Structure 1
């Protein structure tokens, strides 16, 4: 499915236009431009630079000089936590003196060529995208492909019928629908984890892109060796016909309940394996009776005392890893030869260190942590299932 993106002019928009910038020593970033690109990155919006470079055709510098300027810009952007997804430039001009480049080209703005190439490379819906630049040719490019044009520069340079903003930073604030450009790149909590969200958003699509980016980043912090260890614990439990217990509070309770569904119903589909899986969070009558009579901190431990046996497995899901009922359940399991798997977030709390296997997500956003926990639960259940199927069955079955 195509997505919106942002096409940026280069000279006069990202760097100062001193006229045919063809060498690294002449590159000067406009104040706020790097931070603006970083904000687009955090919002999940693909960014492409589309720039006319007639200096090549006029003999002022060569293709390799343009590439060196872009390499320098890439390095400077990266130093401040920003990046451009695609760099495109048009070296052609009809008034050129270099024969290879002295011709017309549909790539030269306001021609649509570079925008169409960006759409192809980045899977963009140009009609939902923005073109930001300081010249009428940038506005013309936007009109040629049905994109939204934002003009940057002094009021005296305004293009009729198009909103003008003082600089790229101001234009990006409009794109993101945000009162500011979010926190500076690299802003983290005291624990060193990126804060999300770090600013107010006024557009759901922008927040959605940023949220997806944060899930991707957070999932990347999961230690896959711990996933492998968890899979071995689960597979061994099924092999010896042991019982797997799961528990969690709030949103984590729903993951525990879902785990029971996937391991009892899903794993059996195509394998014939009849597993023993129970969620300690699902029996509201028993759950509330224990909480009411003995205290909420005992709701999981009390059930384990009656149902669990040495060799069974306990899976706990806790974003904070600090919930007293979770910690007590882990302590009981450790004292009664019940291996444990913990899914945690934030700093991990006691659960992260008490569990036999720790699947930790470095995030400080409850929704993101729970989404990654749910994903880990799914992939473990599917791994266990496919490991017991024939290769032909894996190909033909729906997962």
Structure 2
């Protein structure tokens, strides 16, 4: 099962931020930081470093210099009985002076790329994890992936509701205290619906709407934002988006193609390249008949998908072999994956880069919520590309 972890900023959190630390001689550990990381290690909590290193893009130092700094830090941590499980850094910045690194990046905080990579590598449940850092970009990263932000330092953040701590040692003490007090986060079983027989459609309708509202309230909207950012990025760089689903979920995948091609383009001119893998019955049935039903989506992706494309997998149970196989193929071949799931979510929820989960055990409720999420994503992307005046004048 996925586990809670801690994502740490580097400069200003573990070592002193003296401005573009790109050489070993400039590394100065903050008092108590190594011991704090050791405390996380002993508690069995995975630790990842996620750091923006715009100094590469700005020409202050090279990729190799960042790696040397990290090798030095690894040795110093080891000398004092501590370790970091994963080191990630983003060398890109849109205002950089080094051409090969002068661009926006999905990995640059507050974008979620590094956190999603850490979750994939360390099997983290980001919703149960913490992001600790000294900048608003660290808080933004936590918000983007549904993690809990902890801020270090006396000021510098515009979000006063985020817990503040003087240093990493104090923040880690808080993490360990919360873990001891609350224990592992346990999943609360959603209520069965319907749990009794109804004799009137109007009373059943009222109960249905109430259950739909309850179920939608379980959706982690920060995951929805992460999915929207991923889709927007794909559309703006002319990446392809593929959708797939079985049964009622197939209709959502097909409808998604309509709203994300025609709807998103309306008023924006954005030419979104979206295709449903559930819609071509001749191809779909040929693959199912000749190769196997579990291959109906992955086989199509092998022919038409490319690294950097996006897959949206819609599955109420999250257990369908053809859906799981498609997500696995996409992950293994450089695609980004979004999942809309229900029930326990199955392997689809566990393996997608951005899982959006509806906590319900009623197929109709789950599919209604998935349809709403599909519309929500299309409308958000569309309005994000319009001016404020244009949004007010458009019909959505």
- Shorter-chain TM-score tier: 0.5 to 0.7
Q: How many angstroms apart in 1 are the aligned matches of 2:268 and 2:368?
A: 27
| Aligned equivalent of 1:321, options 315, 318, 327 | 318
TM-score w.r.t. the length of structure 1 is 0.52
Please name the residue that 1:221 is paired with.
218
Please tell me whether residue 354 in structure 1 is matched to residue 351 in structure 2: yes
Whole-Å separation in 1 of the counterparts to 2:188 and 2:345: 11
**What does residue 298 of structure 1 align with?**
295
Equivalent position of 1:311 in the other structure: 308
- Residue pair 1:196, 1:365 contacting (<8 A) in 2 also: yes
2:238 matched to 1:246?
Answer: no
Q: Does 1:265 align with 2:262?
A: yes
1:33 aligned residue: none
Matched ranges for 1:89-100 at <5 A: none
* 1:392, distance to aligned residue in structure 2 (A): 1.1
8 Å CA contact 2:244, 2:276 repeated in 1 = yes
1:370 CA displacement: 0.2
> How far has the Cα of 1:193 moved from its partner?
1.0
CA contact (8 A) 1:352 1:358 kept: yes
In the aligned structure 2, how far is the partner of 1:362 from the partner of 1:308?
31
Whose Rg is larger?
A: 1
Gaps of 5+ in 2: 1-186
The one of 358, 361, 365 equivalent to 2:362 is: 365
1:331 & 1:379 partners in 2: Cα distance?
Answer: 26
- 2:265 aligned counterpart, secondary structure: coil
May I ask how many residue pairs the two structures share in their alignment?
Answer: 210
1:207 aligns with 2:204: yes
Per-residue displacement from partner, 1:1-57 (whole Å, max 9, x unpaired)?
xxxxxxxxxxxxxxxxxxxxxxxxxxxxxxxxxxxxxxxxxxxxxxxxxxxxxxxxx
**How far is 1:374 from its partner?**
0.4
Segments ≥4 residues shifted beyond 3 Å: none
Aligned with 2:360: secondary structure?
A: coil
The 2-side partners of 1:219 and 1:191 are apart by 15
Q: Is contact 2:254-2:279 (8 Å) kept? A: yes
Alpha-carbon deviation of 1:191? 5.9
Alignment of 1:68-87 (within 5 A): none
Aligned 1:330-349 pairs, distance under 5 A: 330-349=327-346
Q: Name the residue aligned to 1:98.
A: none
2:283 and 2:188 mapped to 1: Cα distance?
A: 38
C-alpha distance in structure 1 between counterparts of 2:376 and 2:298, whole Å: 27
* CA RMSD, Structure 1 to Structure 2 (Å): 0.9
